[in-house]
Structure formats: C-alpha cells, structure tokens
Amino acid sequence: MARKKIALVGAGQIGGTLAHLIGLKELGDVVLFDIAEGVPQGKALDLAESSPVDGFDAKLTGTQTYEAIAGADVVIVTAGVPRKPGMSRDDLLGINLKVMEAVGKGIAEFAPDAFVICITNPLDAMVWALQKFSQLPKQKVVGMAGVLDSSRFRYFLAEEFGVSVEDVTAFVLGGHGDTMVPLTRYSTVAGIPLPDLVKMGWTTQEKLDAIVQRTRDGGAEIVALLKTGSAFYAPAASAVAMAESYLKDKKRVLPCAAALEGQYGLSDMYVGVPIVIGAGGVEKVIEIELEGEEKTGFEKSVGAVKGLMDACAAIQPSLK
C-alpha cells in the first residue's frame, strides 16, 4: 500500500513542527507549501536529514506550487499570520481571510478528496470561510482548537492535582477565543468529575476558577512570553491527533470546530463541539446537555463567532 500523503499549507512555526511530528509518527509523506521562497524547501530538507537518525521513512518536500499537493489525503492549513503581543486573534481576520480564499481554491483544484484541518486564526470564522471557498463537503473540513484548549486545561489540572496528565480528561467547548467554555462538570480525574473533587477537598473552587481562566488565556500567556509569535508545539500536536484519527479510522472523540446542521440549535456555522473523527471525516457531532452557566457561556461564545462571520461577510460578500 502506498504511503499516505499529507500536505501542510503554511510552513511556518506550526507547519514545520507538524512535518516533524508526522515524520516521527510515520503517518505518511509530507509536502510543505508556503509562499515564502526557500522556507518549505529548507525545512523539508532539514527534516529529511533527521530521518536516518530517528529511523523514519517519509518523503519530505517543499513547494511554492499548489500542483504539488495533488491527491493529498490530509491537508493541514496554517497559512496566514499569527498574533503578536497586544493583538487579539480577531485582529488577524482581514489578512487571513484573503489567505483562506487562495488556499480554498488551491485545495478545491488539487486535493478535493482530502480531510482538511484548519488552524489559522481567528479559527472558527476561518474554517467556516475555508469550507465555503473550497466547497469541500462539510464533514471533511474541521478546525483545530478544542484539542489544544482541552490539552492546556488537562495540563493545568494535572499540575494542580499532582497526577499524570494521562488520567485527566477535559472538555473545552465554544469558539476559540476569550469566550471559550471549559466545562468542569464534564472534566475528570480518572472518571471523577471536577466538582466532586472540590467536594472531596482535593482542590478549592477558587483554584479551579483560576485554572479555568488560565485556560482561556492560555494562548495569550504564550504570546506574551515568546513576543515574536504564538504557540506552535501544542497546536501542532493537537492537529496531528486529529489527522491520525482520520488516517487510522480511530474514531476518537475530540472537541473540534465542526459545521453544525441543527445540532445545539445552530446551523451554517462552525464552533467547537465534541465530534467523532474516523475514515469518513466528521462521523458524528455529539450533542451534550448544557445547563446554567455552561449554556449561557456557550451562547455568548457562539455570539462572538457569529460576529466574526459577519465581519468576514462584510469583507467578502460571497460568504453570505
């Protein structure tokens, strides 16, 4: 059986890390595409030269032409600009919307059967626009955000409880922004929900509230430290988990920005919800019951995403 082909549109910080992880995990051959001349070629060659040391077989190439992504099984999109200190994800909208138009057309022409994972910010609006520009089936176009946000939440919780990250599960729903909704009721340590752990005296409500807020601010915390860009190791690892679930038909349940068609009372929009990713792409959108603050928080987050979609449609009326 021929190796799978994974195209990375955008060969910056996340793109390069994606290529490295995909090589190490032997998920397939990698094509790095970027408008910056020499960058995808240089990264591909550097990574290929690491393959004998790490013992992985993968063909890694860099390109400036969309033809090279032809027949890709998976396309991961990071093309665009990242945040600098003081910028919100939404500040990126105008620039990155134009990039999504070019990328969408490239994918439609050369890789129409691919499973497409968008990472470019502002995430929920960009993945919505990318699906419209590409016209690929909605179940084949998803956004990466919830896996990262949940991973940050899990890491902070594991630190607080002094337990393995493996034993902490967590769910973060809604849009990828300051309004994201970390769900404590659906987050557990070895199956024990967080509110029960507060009752058991393992932590306090104040500490839990602080962790929730740190999760919401997780991206900004890294931007403030790095000063020259945004997070890339954890975002790349998160997208690879999604790609792997598709390529290996693992049917993992992951929080992702998915197209809603009536679920949660919403349609024609992308927002972070739990989904099943398998060989069919998004095989199921899971509707969990939300109550009280969870519900109002989710509604607020949906409102913020809709605001971004309106801003996109004002720039590019064909998106309406």
Residues near ligand A3D, by CB under 6 A: 9-15, 34-36, 39, 78-83, 92, 96, 99, 102, 119-121, 123, 144-145, 148, 176, 229-232, 235
User: In this complex, which beta carbon is closest to ligand A3D, that of residue 168 or of residue 231?
Assistant: 231
Task: Tell me how far the alpha carbon of residue 184 is from its chain's centroid.
Answer: 21
Min dist. Cβ of residue 167 to ligand A3D (A): 24
Min dist. Cβ of residue 261 to ligand A3D (A): 22
Q: Which of 176, 184, 235, 246 is catalytic?
A: 176
Contact status, residue 173 vs residue 181, Cβ threshold 8 Å:
yes
Min dist. Cβ of residue 278 to ligand A3D (A): 22
CA distance 87 to 100: 20
Contact status, residue 302 vs residue 174, Cβ threshold 8 Å:
yes
| DSSP, residue by residue, 150-173 | HHHHHHHHHHHHT--GGGEEEEEE
User: In this complex, which beta carbon is closest to ligand A3D, that of residue 121 or of residue 301?
Assistant: 121
Min dist. Cβ of residue 142 to ligand A3D (A): 11
Task: Tell me how far the alpha carbon of residue 193 is from its chain's centroid.
Answer: 25
CA distance 188 to 164: 12
- Closest CB to ligand A3D belongs to which residue? 12
User: In this complex, which beta carbon is closest to ligand A3D, that of residue 32 or of residue 197?
Assistant: 32
Looking only at the bridges linking them, the beta strands covering 115-118 and 74-77 are parallel
Min dist. Cβ of residue 113 to ligand A3D (A): 21
User: In this complex, which beta carbon is closest to ligand A3D, that of residue 118 or of residue 194?
Assistant: 118
CA distance 88 to 90: 5
Min dist. Cβ of residue 239 to ligand A3D (A): 9
User: In this complex, which beta carbon is closest to ligand A3D, that of residue 149 or of residue 189?
Assistant: 149
**Cα angle value 173/299/215 (rounded, 5°):** 35
Contact status, residue 14 vs residue 121, Cβ threshold 8 Å:
no
User: In this complex, which beta carbon is closest to ligand A3D, that of residue 58 or of residue 75?
Assistant: 75
CA distance 122 to 37: 25
Burial 90-122 (b: 16+ CB within 10 A, else e): bebbeebbebbbebbebbeebbeebbbbbbbbb
Is 176 noted as a catalytic residue in this protein?
yes
Q: Which residues are catalytic?
A: 176
